[in-house]
Amino acid sequence: MTGPRHPPGEGSSCPGDVCVTCSDTAVPVTVTELLPGGLALADTGAGIEEISVALVRAGVGDVVMVHAKEAIAVLGRPPSAGAPS
């Protein structure tokens, strides 16, 4: 085996040297849409993914730290272009 094994149904091994699912890594993403049930769509930089925002108070435009598809912290909202500083 070349990498950690995922639980059944989640693939057979990690695709690269680091696996966000298996590690203690959280990544920043931007909330693009709030959905019912404590869910949201977020821009990961590589595409749009559905995440849970049930543990945080996040709004559209907020940058949140996500681990295992769960937002665990709100970092804030980036300043808008053209907004006064």
The hierarchical CATH code for the domain 27-76 is: 2.30.30.140
Q: Work out the burial of residue 64: count CB atoms within 10 Å of its CB; fewer than 13 is exposed, 13-18 middle, 19 or more buried.
A: buried
Of 58 and 4, the one with more pLDDT: 58
Q: What is the pLDDT of residues 33-79, one digit of tens each?
A: 999 999 999 999 999 999 999 999 999 999 999 998 999 999 988 77
**Sorting pLDDT into bands at 50, 70 and 90, what band is 15?**
low
Domain boundaries defined on the chain: 27-76
- Return the residue matching tokens 């977020």: 42
Neighbour count for residue 11 (Cβ, 10 Å): 12
